[in-house]
Amino acid sequence: MSQPSMRKTGGRPGAGMVRWAVVSATACLLGLSMTASAGAAKAFSGRITQVSDGDTVWVLPDRGGPPRKLRLDGMDAPELCQPEGPAAREALAAWALRRHVEVTVWRYDDYGRGLARIRLDGQDLGARMVREGHAWSYRYRRDPGPYLAEENEARARQRGLFRQAAPEVPRAFRQRHGPCPMPPFRRGD
């Protein structure tokens, strides 16, 4: 939008200038409002009703509404068709299925899942999954992720997937093999 020129009005802005200032200010405030709401964390509590894999759960909010599909933020568990994938899902289910949790959703991924930190009895589930060797700290470019210390502990103690000499991170596994095939639908799951 180009800025209108001031008319000769005794030093006062003309109607075009006022309109431009109002529109600009409104756009700035709207942009700030949208940025603040997009970055705001959404917290709720609920019960885990399903564990899809080692980093994805469904949580039924206490306040009502349908279960929400959430991915544990900051970690990456093996794919279900990858070595240690079923063990990661089983560990997460053993710890959290049908348990009451506190959820903080930070943002959403490309699949529409809320990326969340989930706490069970005050303990971060993502940190526990990585510490026990069921997942990696999620790396992005040069950032080693939030659970690097937990991953280093799991590697040093050769826990879970770190018993393998060179476990393959899920991203590399998907690039080499493609996505895991969908399991057949079973009623009652």
Asked if 88 and 129 touch (Cβ cutoff 8 Å), the reply is yes
Residue 107's nearest CA partner among 148, 140, 154, 63 is: 140
| Separation of alpha carbons 58 and 101, rounded Å | 11
Catalytic site residue 113?
A: yes
| Separation of alpha carbons 181 and 80, rounded Å | 9
Catalytic site residue 68?
A: no
Residue 85's nearest CA partner among 130, 49, 50, 134 is: 134
SS3 content of the chain, % helix, strand, coil (to 5): 35, 25, 40
| Separation of alpha carbons 67 and 48, rounded Å | 9
Choice among 68, 84, 89, 113 that is catalytic:
113
Residues identified as active-site: 71, 79, 113
